[in-house]
Chains A and B, each alone.
Chain A
Amino acid sequence: MRVYLDNGATTKTDPRVVQEMMPYFTEMYGNTASLHSFGQEAKEAVEKARGFIASFINAQPDEIVFTSGGTESDNIAIQGVARALSTKGKHIITSKIEHPAVLEVCKHLEKEGYEVTYLNVDKHGLVNLEQLEKSIRKDTILVSIMFANNEIGTIQPIKDIGEICRKHGVYFHTDAVQALGKVPVDVKEMKIDLLSGSAHKIHGPKGVGLLYVRKGVKLAPIILGGGHEQGLRSGTTNTPGIVGFAKALELSKEPNNMLELRDRIINELLKIPETILNGHPTQRLPNNVNVCFKYIEGEAILLHLDQAGIAVSTGSACSSLKLQPSHVLTAIGLPPEIAHGSIRITLSKFTTEQEVDYFINNIKRIVHNLRELSPFWKNR
């Protein structure tokens, strides 16, 4: 049996998405910038998808910029604001638990003379709204706080953050790569100025993402060329990818039982002694479970699960190239020796009850065996 529980990393492309994309590889392969009928039929498909996606997040079609994925969207948003508003100010606010696609861009900007405030989060991974408001200065040009965390699943109070930013006249960007298609996203109601999304996290194809840019928001382009996507993302339009993205979002509205299965996993795992749930108990993504098993190490758990055909991920240092535990687990206050024992289980709409049971049986056996081998378990 093979069980895929690493849907936070990427997902299976829904066969109906593939089917929707196919004609744009084989027949309607024109370049959307071409004036002939080949180009125009491709353009028509892209604009239809753009309209659908815009309405999905309560935006206007011309506020959607298609990109190659979440990382590119984050880069265009943050670097774009930084370059466009550098005369107004050079201060950016973000959090300590952002994805590297945000953190590394901020670090890079620091080297260029920008100042970045990295907000702390509480033990559940939530930013403090008061601290956020206090951190806004006259020269603050951007706040970038992720919608939902990719490791621990915590969902931020996005609407409250949006209101604070709007009140102070500061642009608000949110990386919604993990949230889009799983929790309601309304850019108007939540007062979002810039939002990054990605198709492959919700059963769409890899290599396509979006950046919502509220009308009037100033961005300096970082990718120059033929002026596609209103000059913000030059490069030939990925017609099949965009069509697939729209289909994936449409299908994300289908009912699923992720929430029920997630809670079943959480309940069963917390029956294992000395196990900690990471992230917020309720304000979390419907498909995310993240736990630490004390006295054992995550890479060993992951590889034993892999032997049983089960795919998960870990925040252990031993699985990272930097040999440091996850920055997210560190930010929520876990000491390294506990962070090493972390496992992230991320479900999808395709996950079945049978798969969940198979996982639960195996994880219980593996945790038991590894603890029997651990010098700390018996002497705890």
Chain B
Amino acid sequence: MYSKKVMEHFTHPRNMGKPKEYDAVGKVGNPVCGDVMYIYIKVKENRIVDIGFETMGCAAAIATSSMVTELAKGKTLEEAMKITRDDVAESLEGLPPIKMHCSNLAADGLRAAIMNYKKKREKEQDKTT
């Protein structure tokens, strides 16, 4: 049912857990549907220097979370914002059609984290000016 790549990321997730230090978190999903993802990012000079995730969900949810952290790590915020759900699915050598919609939330989680980071920065800048 799942590709080898999905199973590899599911059984050996990269960047798992909440990093010790992070600047923002993106929370997506709904426990009623079974999939919830928290994507944590640490940003330095506009670049994602550390990233981690916590996910409750099926194998596809865990694998996509793991993959999005790999894709985003080291990227600038602008580059990371461009990562799509399809990019994640393609990097995993595809997902079963039924999982494309419900469990493929990781790119949304990453974007939510970046947006939250930007909002935080704006607020901080408002305070200092």
Residues in chain A within 8 A of chain B (CB atoms):
295-297, 299-300, 303-304, 307, 316-319, 321, 323, 325, 335-337, 340, 372-376
Contact B17 A373 (CB under 8 A): yes
Contact B57 A300 (CB under 8 A): yes
Given known contacts A295-B56, A373-B54, A374-B56, A340 and B34 CB-to-CB distance under 8 angstroms: yes
**Set of chain A residues within 8 Å of B36, measured between Cβ atoms:** 375-376
In the assembled complex, the CB of A337 is this many whole angstroms from the nearest CB of chain B, namely 4
Contact B17 A372 (CB under 8 A): yes
Contact A297 B56 (CB under 8 A): yes
Q: Which of B43-51, B58-66, B77-85 contacts A (4 or more CB under 8 A)?
A: B58-66
Q: Which of B8-16, B87-95, B118-126 contacts A (4 or more CB under 8 A)?
A: B8-16
**Set of chain B residues within 8 Å of A296, measured between Cβ atoms:** 56
**Set of chain B residues within 8 Å of A340, measured between Cβ atoms:** 31, 34
Alpha-carbon distance between A323 and B62 when the two chains are bound, in angstroms:
17
Given known contacts A300-B62, A372-B17, A373-B17, A318 and B10 CB-to-CB distance under 8 angstroms: no
Contact A337 B34 (CB under 8 A): yes
**B103 contacts chain A at the CB level, 8 A cutoff:** yes
In the assembled complex, the CB of B52 is this many whole angstroms from the nearest CB of chain A, namely 10
- Of the listed residues B38, B55, B57, the one surrounded by the most CB atoms of chain A closer than 10 A to its CB is B57
19 A–B contacts, CB within 8 A, in A order? A295-B56, A296-B56, A297-B35, A300-B58, A303-B7, A303-B59, A307-B11, A317-B34, A319-B58, A323-B33, A336-B33, A337-B34, A372-B17, A373-B16, A373-B17, A374-B54, A375-B54, A375-B55, A376-B36
Alpha-carbon distance between A372 and B7 when the two chains are bound, in angstroms:
19
**Set of chain A residues within 8 Å of B17, measured between Cβ atoms:** 372-373
**B2 to chain A: closest residue by CB:** A303
Alpha-carbon distance between A325 and B33 when the two chains are bound, in angstroms:
9
In the assembled complex, the CB of B72 is this many whole angstroms from the nearest CB of chain A, namely 18
Alpha-carbon distance between A331 and B18 when the two chains are bound, in angstroms:
36
Alpha-carbon distance between A375 and B52 when the two chains are bound, in angstroms:
12
Alpha-carbon distance between A304 and B2 when the two chains are bound, in angstroms:
13
**Set of chain B residues within 8 Å of A372, measured between Cβ atoms:** 16-17
- Of the listed residues B2, B55, B61, B103, the one surrounded by the most CB atoms of chain A closer than 10 A to its CB is B55
Contact B35 A300 (CB under 8 A): no
**A299 to chain B: closest residue by CB:** B58
Inter-chain pairs besides A295-B56, A297-B34, A376-B31, 4 sampled, C-beta below 8 Å: A300-B57, A318-B58, A373-B62, A375-B27
Contact B11 A297 (CB under 8 A): no
Given known contacts A319-B58, A375-B38, A376-B56, A336 and B98 CB-to-CB distance under 8 angstroms: no
**Set of chain B residues within 8 Å of A373, measured between Cβ atoms:** 13, 16-17, 54-56, 62
**Set of chain A residues within 8 Å of B34, measured between Cβ atoms:** 297, 316-318, 325, 336-337, 340
**A340 to chain B: closest residue by CB:** B34
**A321 to chain B: closest residue by CB:** B98
Contact B38 A316 (CB under 8 A): no
In the assembled complex, the CB of A81 is this many whole angstroms from the nearest CB of chain B, namely 36
Alpha-carbon distance between A299 and B59 when the two chains are bound, in angstroms:
7
Alpha-carbon distance between A376 and B56 when the two chains are bound, in angstroms:
8
Contact B59 A300 (CB under 8 A): yes
**A374 to chain B: closest residue by CB:** B56
In the assembled complex, the CB of B35 is this many whole angstroms from the nearest CB of chain A, namely 7
Given known contacts A303-B10, A307-B11, A373-B13, A336 and B32 CB-to-CB distance under 8 angstroms: yes
**B38 to chain A: closest residue by CB:** A375
Contact B102 A297 (CB under 8 A): no
Contact A297 B32 (CB under 8 A): no
- Of the listed residues B16, B31, B35, B60, the one surrounded by the most CB atoms of chain A closer than 10 A to its CB is B31
Alpha-carbon distance between A319 and B10 when the two chains are bound, in angstroms:
15
**A339 to chain B: closest residue by CB:** B34
Nearest 5 CB-CB pairings of A with B:
A318-B58, A337-B31, A375-B54, A299-B58, A340-B34
Alpha-carbon distance between A185 and B39 when the two chains are bound, in angstroms:
54
**Set of chain A residues within 8 Å of B11, measured between Cβ atoms:** 304, 307
